[in-house]
Amino acid sequence: MDFKDKLNLIIELLEINNNILAEVLDVDVSLISRWRTGNRLPSDRNKHLELLCAYFYNRAVETSKLYELMEIMNQSVVTLKNDLENVTEVMRVWFNTQISVDNTPLIHDFINKLEFFSYHDTEHPIEELHGKIGYKYSVKETYYGNQGKREAITRLLTEAIDIEPTTIYIFSDEAISWLTEDISFYFSWSKLLEQLLKKGHKIRILHTVYKSLNEILNAIEKWLPLYLSGSLEPYYYPKLQDGLFRHSIFIVGDQAALSSTSLVGKTDSCLNYYHTNKDNIKNLRESFDSLQEMCLPLMSIYTDTNRDKYFDNVLDFYKICNDTYNYNQTISTVTMPMELIGYIHEKAGCSRDNAVEFHKKRIEFFKDCIMKNKYTEIFSLPDVNDINNGSVFFELTYYFPNGPYAYTKDQFRLHLLNVISMLETYENYHIILLDEKIFKDIRIMVKKNYGSVISKLRPRPVAFKFYHEGLSEAIFEYLAFKIKEANQKSYDRNVVITKLKNLLSQLN
């Protein structure tokens, strides 16, 4: 953790807002915001850090949270003798010490969940839905508290099913107790959203800021089954928020909307307003659009329904010349000989010439990259019997209408020859041969200091391109850890080439 992470951790624990902290230190509130986002550090000359530590100590004593504060710093109240001078000095040193955070378990758990979940259309036809929701609601203009919000949202989404497909806009920085405290509503809400997507509605959602990787992963995981549909368009607000009030906006096209405002942590006493007046809905939409302009895209989602956009994205990704890790189920598409690229596209009913031209551009960008930066591919070699039995697939063809297509023995041999040639030619091109696959249906491509793409191959192909810098950095570090974890022979160039040639000889 760096300074901003620690500062935010203590501010959350002690329930302090920026305005109060600015008043205590006699500084402008914008300076507190810059500290919390990492754009500035406290000044030694003004003794800001000492004043911060003293205030945090006194606040912890007042709120009976001194033990929790000490736990954060891995200290004991008994050892420090509950003394202001001792505690503040320890806190000052703690703030100035960088703490390395291992995000490997978080990333592994997240990708595991991504591999596990799948999106399936509900079995029940839309016309049967009204009798199967199981969550009752009343029709009125105002709804009170969390229970009222559940009723209002049920009404909003149920009525949305009866209109032509449109975009549903969602923003909320309120506590989500309205969603999580009633399990029957949670399942009803999930079913409604699935039905809306089945009918053709799209959802645009604005997430609030995330101060830690854990928060952003949790937010994605809550929506994961729906993200897999490819019908969600997510953004995030990149700045820290503060203040006493939180807000929610749900808008269904120009037909209806729901809005609410609540005190922090007090959603059970908020008023939720249901809007059918066109002017009110228009005004809420303008507010939503203004907020979206201040947001950044969290990710782009590609499925078999927008495969052309996916391939355009792939080409853009290869243009970026940064160090790259590429985890695959088998040898990669970028190393595929031109004649195989033409073959699989022709088999899929696509233009052979266009596919070859596209691949030439990809190879050009790829070779530019490996002249300047390291490009490391990570995979497990298939068993020769699996190749002979037609159980090894061209990864690219999972995105084809009738895919995936299996390699023949000669096709895999031709591809393998090309990989060996590239490994012997380009110093910056590396292969890590794992004894066992990390994941069975996942591909990962990540470029340092740029972004990442995680693809789920089955049962329905879907690819996520992540723009969030912290998330992509954690994915890069995760694959770096997996490489270090592997047997040293897995990444010894001579050993790798020998193993590839041994497999080649078995295919003769």
Each residue's pLDDT tens digit, 122-148: 444 444 444 455 678 889 999 999 999
- 302 pLDDT higher than 80: yes
Contacts of 83 (CB under 8 A, 6+ apart): none
Report how many helices (DSSP H) and strands (DSSP E) the chain contains, helices first: 21, 15
Strands 375-379 and 296-297: unpaired
Count, residues in the chain: 508
CA-to-CA distance for 292 and 309, rounded, in angstroms?
Answer: 22
pTM exceeding 0.85: no
Sign of CA dihedral 146, 151, 157, 159: negative
CA-to-CA distance for 419 and 120, rounded, in angstroms?
Answer: 37
Backbone phi, psi, residue 130, to 5°? -60, -30
CA-to-CA distance for 460 and 302, rounded, in angstroms?
Answer: 11
For the chain, give the mean pLDDT. Answer: 86
Mean pLDDT of 346-371: 92
Sign of CA dihedral 48, 54, 60, 63: negative
Under 8 Å between Cβ of 237 and 209: yes
Query: Which pLDDT value is given to residue 377?
Result: 95
Most confidently predicted of 122-131, 208-217, 228-237, 495-504: 495-504
User: Among residues of the chain, what percentage have pLDDT more than 70?
Assistant: 92
Greater pLDDT, 238 or 465: 465
Peptide bond into 401 cis (omega under 30): no
Query: Which pLDDT value is given to residue 146?
Result: 92
- 150 pLDDT higher than 50: yes
- 492 pLDDT higher than 90: no
Under 8 Å between Cβ of 193 and 157: yes
Query: Which pLDDT value is given to residue 476?
Result: 94
Buried b (16+ CB within 10 A) or exposed e, 60-88: beeeebbeebbebbebeeeebeeeeeebb
Q: What is the DSSP letter of 381?
A: P
Mean pLDDT of 215-234: 82
Backbone phi, psi, residue 67, to 5°? -65, -40
pLDDT in tens, 412-443: 999 999 999 999 999 999 999 998 899 999 99
CA-to-CA distance for 139 and 274, rounded, in angstroms?
Answer: 9
Query: Which pLDDT value is given to residue 29?
Result: 87
Mean pLDDT of 243-268: 88
Contacts of 392 (CB under 8 A, 6+ apart): 330, 382, 386, 406, 407, 412
Query: Which pLDDT value is given to residue 291?
Result: 93
- 210 pLDDT higher than 80: no
Query: Which pLDDT value is given to residue 125?
Result: 45
Which segments within 255-298 are labelled E, that is strand?
Answer: 256-263, 271-275, 296-297
User: Among residues of the chain, what percentage have pLDDT more than 90?
Assistant: 45
Measured torsion, CA atoms of residues 413, 418, 419, 424, in degrees rounded to the nearest 10: 130
Beta bridge partners of 299: 466
Mean pLDDT of 290-294: 93
Mean pLDDT of 284-304: 91
DSSP 213-237: HHHHHHHHHHTHHHHTTT-EEEEE-
pLDDT in tens, 367-418: 999 999 999 999 999 999 999 999 999 988 888 888 899 999 999 999 999 9
Query: Which pLDDT value is given to residue 129?
Result: 44
Query: Which pLDDT value is given to residue 121?
Result: 47
Query: Which pLDDT value is given to residue 110?
Result: 93
Query: Which pLDDT value is given to residue 116?
Result: 85
Mean pLDDT of 68-86: 69
- 82 pLDDT higher than 60: no
How many CA atoms lie less than 13 Å away from 304 in the CB half-sphere?
16
Query: Which pLDDT value is given to residue 326?
Result: 95
What's the pLDDT band for 71 if we cut at 50, 70, 90? confident
Query: Which pLDDT value is given to residue 130?
Result: 45
Query: Which pLDDT value is given to residue 213?
Result: 79
Query: Which pLDDT value is given to residue 191?
Result: 86
